[in-house]
Structure 1
Amino acid sequence: MSCSTPEVPSVVLDALMPNARRLVTNRRGSTVWEVFGPRGHYAVKLGYPIAATADWPAQPWTALAPAREAAVLHRLGFDVIAYGEWEHGTWNFQPWHEGPDLHRLWEPCREPDPVITPHTSVALGCVEALAELHSKGWAHGDVQPAHFIIGPERTHLIDLALARGGYVPQGYDFPFRGCLVHYEAPEIARSVLATGEAEPTQQADIYALGATLLISATGWRAVEYPDDAPRPVQRQAVANGRRRPVKAPGELGELIDAMLSHTPEDRPTIYELGKALS
């Protein structure tokens, strides 16, 4: 597929009858549109395959990600999600969640002389959103700051295309090959390095949540490696547990340190985190 921005397919336009739309994200293999219309306020996701380059292998799974996410959301009981196929891959639309993501919300905390510190109530909202998923037997697999939307009434955990925990139609399923390395647990990194694949777990989600809270509060990654290092080098640093001597301010610091434990069994459960933050 060319590098031009894909337009919303006509089947989606016919279903939503939008009177306005805005491109939110345009990255390799995926675009997201915010769509307004008489039938509601929606996020429309389009997936398409990533062609191979000199630096990256081909990634055909990105074409299936919107349909896979919609199938997961259906399994979790969100019946308003629609999805289907278009000429380059799959699409879904789902209700739009209003609010900043965690990284943007905590931007003032990362100033050189911050006047505020990260609020534990915000961290608790993230924990509660992840706990809701874990209580249904699922692991998210792609926990990161951009996937926590801090709404006026509750925090939403979005982008469940990589989640594992129940049936997904075979035609839309694909192996889990890791996520953004900044938030990848050591055991996930080791498995991807060894086999090219891994199995998302709730313990790995806890590690990713710790890394998410840390980078949002301080601007620092949990693990030290050069910014321009190839992905296998990044993963090896994570697998080796090369932690930065960085601690989040306030009472979150000790909790985040526990969440980033190298051994999965040493990390607190999502319920222990909720109790501590409550």
Structure 2
Amino acid sequence: MKEKHYQDADNQMRKLEETKRLKSVEDKQVSSEVFDNKTLQVLYKLAKQGYLKSLNGVISTGKEANVFLGIDDDDKEVAVKIYRVVTLDFKKIKEYIAGDPRFKSHGNNTRQIITAWTQKEFKNLSRLYKLGLNVPEPYTANENVLVMEYLEHSPDDASAAPPLSKIKLDNAGEVFEEIIDFMDVAYNEAQLVHGDLSRYNILYSHGHPYVIDVSQATLTSHPSSMQLLDRDIENIVYDSKKFNLNLTFDYIKNRIVRKE
């Protein structure tokens, strides 16, 4: 029985190796950067654990990570975020981790740093998700790979949920009120500040905003937390104007940082 389990895992890994092949020359370069031998070993472990049966294409690409559409052992779609070791800004990452008491310093060991960074996103997502906030449900994290809920656009459109930067909104007022509510609960109950919140990392799924990319989110006890919160508010004020809203910095901050 155990032998069959490992044969199944081997088959899953072959599928992963087949489906990771990308089409264009640029994608081939990305593929070599993303799917290094160490990352393939991590994907193999996830396949053995049932989290991942195949990768079926790229959802998004970025300087720090790529997100792929995956299928787990239950044939359920999942989002697979793979941090790209060669392009990560380790100086920035070390600063964020150093200010977070949940993580130990890892010196200059790049694999340990990237593992801590991935775990930081997993823990932040878990913290927010448990409070009922709109973030992808995190399933597991192993080294530089994070597996989480796949967010579709709508019940009638199974494509990946788009960021607010790429859509028009008929209910912009409601959406931005939800974003402010998110910031409020994240700050006051989860004790977290996103630190890089904008229309580029807020997805629109089933008519509601979902916040992603929370690896850099910091505890409110972090010495830079208020500065980061102010930056988030400024971004949301700026983004709201793109949807013909007139939100102000003071209005949002007073909603979040309530005077005793």
TM-score by length of 1: 0.54
Bigger strand fraction: 2
Match of 1:33 among 54, 63, 68: 68
For the residues of structure 2 that align with 1:145 and 1:82, how far apart are their CA atoms?
26
Aligned pairs for 1:117-132 within 5 A: 119-132=172-185
For the residues of structure 2 that align with 1:77 and 1:122, how far apart are their CA atoms?
18
Pairwise CA distance, 1:122 = 2.5
Q: Which residue of the partner structure matches residue 45 of structure 2? A: 11
Match of 1:162 among 192, 197, 216: 216
1:22 and 2:57 correspond: yes
CA contact (8 A) 1:131 1:270 kept: no
Structure 2 stretches of 5 or more lacking a match? 1-28, 94-112, 131-136, 153-160
For the residues of structure 2 that align with 1:209 and 1:92, how far apart are their CA atoms?
27
Per-residue CA shift, 1:168-187, capped at 9, x if unaligned?
Answer: xxxxxxxx9xxxxxxxxxxx
Match of 2:198 among 135, 144, 156: 144
Q: Which residue of the partner structure matches residue 84 of structure 2? A: 48
Q: Which residue of the partner structure matches residue 142 of structure 2? A: 84
Match of 2:114 among 63, 82, 94: 63
CA contact (8 A) 1:51 1:59 kept: no
Cα 1:153–1:96 change in 2 (3 A) is same
Cα 1:12–1:59 change in 2 (3 A) is farther
SS in 2 for 1:94: strand
TM-score by length of 2: 0.58
Q: Which residue of the partner structure matches residue 186 of structure 1? A: none
Q: Which residue of the partner structure matches residue 74 of structure 1? A: 126
Pairwise CA distance, 1:71 = 2.0
Pairwise CA distance, 1:28 = 2.5
Q: Which residue of the partner structure matches residue 94 of structure 1? A: 148
Alignment-mate amino acid for residue 236 of structure 2:
L
Q: Which residue of the partner structure matches residue 269 of structure 1? A: 253
Cα 1:27–1:201 change in 2 (3 A) is closer
Pairwise CA distance, 1:118 = 7.0
Per-residue CA shift, 1:235-273, capped at 9, x if unaligned?
Answer: xxxxxxxxxxxxxx3xx22x2xx22xxxxxx46326379
CA contact (8 A) 1:49 1:59 kept: no
Alignment-mate amino acid for residue 48 of structure 1:
R
Pairwise CA distance, 1:95 = 0.8
For the residues of structure 2 that align with 1:130 and 1:48, how far apart are their CA atoms?
28
Pairwise CA distance, 1:101 = 1.6
Alignment: residue pair count: 184
Structure 1 stretches of 5 or more lacking a match? 110-116, 168-175, 177-196, 218-248, 260-265, 274-278
SS in 2 for 1:145: coil
Cα 1:59–1:165 change in 2 (3 A) is closer
For the residues of structure 1 that align with 2:55 and 2:85, how far apart are their CA atoms?
27
SS in 2 for 1:160: coil
For the residues of structure 1 that align with 2:87 and 2:233, how far apart are their CA atoms?
32
CA contact (8 A) 1:149 1:155 kept: yes
For the residues of structure 1 that align with 2:92 and 2:84, how far apart are their CA atoms?
8
Q: Percent same amino acid at aligned positions?
A: 14
